Amino acid sequence: MSESPRRVVELAIVHFPDGWRIVRAGDSWGRFPYRVDAEEAALRLADKIRAEGGEALVTAQSLTGEVARLRIA
């Protein structure tokens, strides 16, 4: 029997005029005044996804618009 592929969830931390949010495929979670708060929340979501057998990729936008992948321990 073959093993099914792991579910990959992509989370992005995006800057909006009213703060930072975590977005995924059109959904958004939270409104954070600081990017670091959004990063911590996104990493907690990633941990939960991994605990449920999935895989999570987290990217974060900078104030200049550049996007970089966050390292997940």
Whether 4 maps to a domain, the answer reads: no
Q: What average pLDDT does this structure show over 36-58?
A: 93
48, two tokens? 């939960």
Whether 3 maps to a domain, the answer reads: no
Tell me, what's the pLDDT at 59? 95
Structural domain for 61, as ranges: 15-69
pTM of the model: 0.83
Whether 37 maps to a domain, the answer reads: yes
Best CA proximity match to 21, nearest among 37, 1, 9, 38: 38
Whether 1 maps to a domain, the answer reads: no
Q: What average pLDDT does this structure show over 41-69?
A: 92
Whether 51 maps to a domain, the answer reads: yes
Q: What average pLDDT does this structure show over 37-50?
A: 94
Tell me, what's the pLDDT at 62? 87
Whether 53 maps to a domain, the answer reads: yes
The structural domain count of the chain equals 1
Sequence-ordered list of residues with C-beta below 8 angstroms from that of 8, at least 6 positions apart, any chain: 54, 55, 56, 57
Whether 41 maps to a domain, the answer reads: yes
Whether 10 maps to a domain, the answer reads: no
